[in-house]
Amino acid sequence: MSGSQIVAMGHYQPPKVLTNADIARLVDTNDEWIQSRVGIRTRHIAETETVDEMAAAAAEKALSASGHTAGEVDLVVVATCTAVDRSPSMAARVAARLGIAAPAAYDINTACSGFCYALATADHAIRAGAARTALVIGSEKLSEVTDWTDRSTCILVGDGAGAAVVTASTEPGIGPVVWGSAPELGDAVRIEGQPAVFSQEGVSVFRWATTKLAPIAREVCARAGVDPADLAAVVPHQANLRIIEPLVRQLGATNAILARDLVESGNTSAASVPLALSKLVERGEVPTGAPALLFGFGGGLAYAGQVVRCP
């Protein structure tokens, strides 16, 4: 076995939608101000749904699209930074909800880059022969750790989940991961305290993202042997249009569709990359087998990316 591939995607978002007008009733802001600074119009907010419930819903949709059954899954990985309980893991709870028997199950917390980290570890496990069929999920309930009186952060967040079914493949469909971090800036994005609250140093994060990430994204493409001009899609962490649009221009991905799911979903941290990719696939905007750059970055400050072949 020489690699792994994504065979299907799925996603879930809570039905409650919070508009910029709704946010303006909570803090001193307005739709024009929010859209001009981050590009977000709406976001989905979980009311009763938990992180593992949303993860399981997205995973169930991905499994259904894949043609595989829960009984074939031998690895479950959930990327999240908003799990309330320390144990059991969200992965274990997802496995129980879906009736998956005896899988390896663990969570990963690298915040916004979490899904790309999780996908890399699943790919590595399959390549090593430790697994054959994996569920890789990003799921977040950021609304639960948000200070809804802080206009610098409450305008950003949304809830939801995205999932991928990853299987062994004779032809590698997931390229080499490029991952790392800037620990000296690790405190620039925080979810800490009791109760936990999300906060960030927006200027520091923006400067780091707009000056350091494009060369890393180019390295991801180089490691995969793909010219950025040949990418069919770029699916970055859905942080801010003022970050991701310049990133694609600097990368030179002139023919790629740029995922802009944050416009309707907000920043969903580890869920943002799989959520956005799942929607592109569902709408048929990227052909099966076409190369797409997945690139997560944020809290930590950690980053990870790989080029995948679209399911």
Give the active site residue among 154, 237, 240, 310.
237
Active site residue 112: yes
pTM of the model: 0.97
> What is the residue-level pLDDT of the chain in tens, covering all 311 positions?
589 999 999 999 999 999 999 999 999 999 999 999 999 999 999 999 999 999 999 999 999 999 999 999 999 999 999 999 999 999 999 999 999 999 999 999 999 999 999 999 999 999 999 999 999 999 999 999 999 999 999 999 999 999 999 999 999 999 999 999 999 988 989 999 999 999 999 899 999 999 999 999 999 999 999 999 999 999 999 999 999 999 999 999 999 999 999 999 999 999 999 999 999 999 999 999 999 999 999 999 999 999 999 99
Catalytic annotation, pick one of 112, 116, 221, 310: 112
Active-site residue, 154 included: no
pLDDT digits (tens, 9 = 90+) for 275-300: 999 999 999 999 999 999 999 999 99
SS (HEC) of the chain: CCEEEEEEEEEECCCCEEEHHHHHCCCCCCHHHHHHHCCCCEEECCCCCCHHHHHHHHHHHHHHHHCCCHHHCCEEEEECCCCCCCCCCHHHHHHHHHCCCCCEEEEECCHHHHHHHHHHHHHHHHHCCCCCEEEEEEEEEHHHHCCCCCHHHHCCECEEEEEEEEEEECCCCECCCEEEECHHHHHHEEEECCCCEEEECHHHHHHHHHHHHHHHHHHHHHHHCCCHHHCCEEEECCCCHHHHHHHHHHHCCCCCEECCCHHHHCECHHHHHHHHHHHHHHCCCCCCCCEEEEEEEEHHHEEEEEEEECC
Note if 81 is an active site residue. Answer: no
Structural domains of the chain, with CATH: 3-169 (3.40.47.10), 178-310 (3.40.47.10)
Q: What pLDDT does 1 receive?
A: 56
Render pLDDT for 295-307 as a digit per residue (tens, 0 to 9): 999 999 999 999 9
